[in-house]
Structure 1
């Protein structure tokens, strides 16, 4: 339901309807506890676990198709940087992770729970820690199937 409300608000925002997109954002914030501005881009089949509870997404953030975002995740800007995060196709971001600033999370990369990502994560990479560092690069055939959550 929360994603449907976002899709409606994003469509209205693209059509430049003045007030309604932000009203829908407030409804999402109050009912589901997610900050999901109509100006951000969410790809197809993005999964925000537990209806996005505690998740905050920057208004200019870009999230690719099939990404999985757990609860309590922050995807936002950083002081002194104009660019905000780009989360590519199939990426997984664990609970409580913070992805801040001009960061690109590569295709099918994974970010561990409570990690603070301040640098790029390569495709198929696994990043953990504070600040996050890449500890492994997965092979494409070893990836877990997050699409089975749908």
Structure 2
């Protein structure tokens, strides 16, 4: 799945007509992932269960060392811009990251969380709507 995307992305950057779109459709049908060739995907990005149910906005930027669980939406909210995901991020199953938001490095996003705001580095966000969870303090 990711190899097909990388070929489509290369062809998109070379401005080859039709073929990148055809490869995107192939990924959509075979793997149930919507990963347009215009998306920027870093190194060591893992799509859980070969990308099952994952939808990514066409202008999104995904950093390095990201784990994306199934049924995740990285999308827009009807306004210009798309999510930018930093390095070393874990996104739980069913999470939604919506709008022109920036997710910092070393962030964990809980399952089914709905993130609509910028998230600073080194935190965990959970809930609907998402909120930052502070680590427990040892007594």
TM-score > 0.5, shorter chain as reference? yes
| Residue 137 of structure 1, CA deviation | 6.0
1:137–1:19 distance in 2 versus 1, CA, 3 Å: farther
8 Å Cα contact 1:42/1:63 also seen in 2:
yes
Aligned-residue RMSD, C-alpha: 1.1
Residues 53-108 of structure 1: CA deviation (Å, up to 9, x unaligned): 000000000000111100000000002x2011000001111000000001111101
Cross-structure match for 2:116:
118
**What SS is found at the alignment partner of 1:13?**
helix
Cross-structure match for 1:42:
41
TM-score (norm 1): 0.88
Alignment gaps of 5+ in structure 1: 139-150
Cross-structure match for 1:88:
86
| Residue 120 of structure 1, CA deviation | 1.2
| Residue 136 of structure 1, CA deviation | 2.4
Cross-structure match for 1:143:
none
- Matches of 2:25 and 2:98, distance apart in 1: 23
Cross-structure match for 2:97:
99
Cross-structure match for 1:63:
62
| Residue 121 of structure 1, CA deviation | 1.2
8 Å Cα contact 1:127/1:136 also seen in 2:
no
Cross-structure match for 1:52:
51
Cross-structure match for 1:7:
6
Alignment gaps of 5+ in structure 2: none
